[in-house]
Amino acid sequence: MKKAIEKFNRWLDYEDLDNNLRSELLLLKNDEEIYEDFYKDLEFGTGGLRGILGAGTNRMNIYTVRRATQGLANYINKHYSKADSENKDNIPSVAIAYDSRINSHLFAMEAAKVLMGNNIKVYLYSQLMPTPALSFAVRYYKCVAGIMVTASHNPAKYNGYKVYNNEGCQMTLKAAAEVYNEIEKIDIFNDVKMGDGQLEMIPNEVTDKYLERVKKESTGPVGCENLSVVYTPLNGTGNLLVRKILHMIGVQKVSIVKEQELPNGNFPTCPYPNPEKKEALELGLSLCKKLGKDADLLLATDPDCDRVGIAVRHTNEGKDELRLITGNEVGILLLDFICQRRIDAKGNYKKMPENPIAMKTIVSSKMADDVARHYEVSMIDVLTGFKFIGEQIGILESKEEDFRFIFGFEESYGYLSGSYVRDKDAVNASMLICEMTAYYKSKGQTLIDRLKELYEQYGYYKNDLIEFMFEGAAGMKEMSDIMNRFKEKLSLQLIGKKIVQIADYQTSVRRILGSSGHCDLAVGTKPIDLPKADVLEYVLEDGSSFIIRPSGTEPKLKVYLSSKGETNEESVYIINEMKKELTEFILKKN
């Protein structure tokens, strides 16, 4: 508490402190509020910065953004000399983009000033842009890094700052640790260099080139002119580019959710602008109902347009209804669809390459493994976070084999086909989803019909997610305590089934347990060949499993549930029983 108060007083004593932030500090009512704002520095991790807007070292404001950018600039100038630069001006360069959130443009400009003050050229989008467009700009201009100012799908009180490497991929563990070390050396008020320098606005032609590259991932004519789409950008960045790509593939009937069409960082109609959540899609679903059979598909992109959620119209036992489809289900459908189209490719459409590769995160559906195996596609599993998929694409590119990558996805509604960017891309995904929906419509099917066929072919896999909020300093400690409780006190039996595998990604060891299920009778161990992470995985004797981890971007503990049953009902039952027992264990106070 003492250090937090000292930091608070130092901020108040700083003569040049922004007036709005000073006023905010003066409104703090007690030591507990001061502590929350100052008890730590906003952490820079592999996702960059993300936090609540406001005054203080633990908040997103111009000073924490400047400090982080100075650390990034020091890292760049240490690793990239003029001689190493591929930039035509012979100095390192960084691309910057920003979304519709409160202060996003301000933070982008502050970051640009710091970079220019450190003799680094800046390429800046002149209007808000999706995250994948930032990744594209980094690669297009051969920048050494990129900055995307966004807090993705978090509530309006948040903003953030994602950092990309020279491949257009979010910084992975080693580089992010180096930047963090540089940031730690910097005094927030005294050590930041700001100035004017080389600033170039990114022209519209670069955005056009990005869209052209997205279009190259099209699966070809599938009847999109007969598709009716409802689209909502959730007051974010997707409005212009998603509509353009749909026009480019022939979708002629697009209805926009007017209340969510224009950028608005307050997100007045969806306080939690996350397309994973039905609440954020309510206005879109209402418009679909109003349009009736003139709406085949609902698309909803998150504020920085790297993720997309969908609902489809489907007739069930004679009754017309709108069905939400989960991120896992969309990933499975797209993998199957892309494989079908590549195998049956005609003319100039993309054919299946030799030794094709797909990728997914460890928390995504195991059903995708079966689909990939059916099409003789190798599946690579990576840690949670699309940056690890981007990293694997980069490894392929270094061997001139990135053409082997056909599709990657994560359960949280992120998808990508093609190696032109190194992050999930909702512009790309919206195009593919529309083509897929139109393709099955031309055959008299909906996506629900095709999903049912896939379940009948591969088994009834089900996935679910339970989340627990733990805000503030006390919340961080509580999450840590719960993770330790899982390691030390969880019974080796769940829903009446033995736990037969325990994987600790922090120690990189997977334990295979003996038939009695006791730890001391473990029959073997296997190394986990992935970067260390605060993740625990438990596998039951019937193949069901769950993974638990603290979120890297929100104050949440996430539990990912997976089951496979002989019938849909059996699989759902297993999921629900696991949910009950795990929730009871997590909320237990001792």
What does 464-533 look like in DSSP terms, one character per residue? EEEEEE--HHHHHHHHHHHHHHHHHH--SEETTEEEEEEEETTTTEEEEPPTT--GGG--EEEE--S---
Q: Does residue 136 have a pLDDT over 60?
A: yes
In terms of CATH architecture, what is 460-587? Answer: 2-Layer Sandwich (3.30)
pTM summary value: 0.93
Strand runs (DSSP E) across 224-275, as ranges? 228-232, 253-256
Q: If we measure between CA atoms, which residue out of 391, 396, 397, 400 comes closest to residue 378?
A: 396
DSSP symbols for 309-349: EEEEEEEETTEEEEEEE-HHHHHHHHHHHHHHHHHT--TTS
Find the catalytic residue in 93, 135, 152, 562. 152
At residue 473, does pLDDT exceed 90?
no
- Find the length of the chain: 590
Q: What is the pLDDT of residue 343?
A: 94
pLDDT of residue 82 exceeding 70: no
| pLDDT computed for residue 88 by the predictor | 58
Q: What is the pLDDT, as a whole number, of residue 316?
A: 83
Q: How does residue 520 score in pLDDT terms, banded at 50, 70 and 90?
A: very low
Q: Where in the chain is the domain with CATH 3.40.120.10?
A: 40-202, 211-458
Query: Residue 1: pLDDT band by 50, 70, 90 thresholds?
Result: confident
Q: Which residue's structure tokens are 């709406």?
A: 295
Q: What is the pLDDT of residue 298?
A: 98
Cα 374 from chain centroid (whole Å):
28
Element (H, E) at 270: none
Confidence of residue 157 (pLDDT cuts 50, 70, 90): very high
**For residues 375-399, average pLDDT:** 96
Beta-carbon count within 10 A of 321 CB: 13
Residues 90-132 pLDDT 10s: 799 999 999 999 999 999 999 999 999 999 999 999 999 999 9
Residue 518: pLDDT band (50, 70, 90) is very low
**Average model confidence (pLDDT) for the chain?**
93
Is it the case that residue 515 has pLDDT exceeding 90? Answer: no
Q: Assess whether pLDDT exceeds 70 at residue 501.
A: yes
Residue 569: CB atoms within 10 Å: 10
pLDDT confidence of residue 172: 83
Split at pLDDT 50, 70, 90, the class of 346 is: confident
Going by CATH, does the domain composed of 211-458 fall within 3.40.120.10? yes
Class of domain 40-202: alpha beta
Mean pLDDT on 175-204: 96
Q: What percent of the chain has pLDDT over 90?
A: 85
pLDDT given at position 86? 58
364 carries an active-site annotation:
no
Closest CA to 241 of 220, 267, 269, 213: 213
Which tokens is 111 given?
């970051």
- DSSP three-state, residue 162: strand
Mean pLDDT of 368-379: 97
Residues of the chain with CATH 3.30.310.50: 460-587
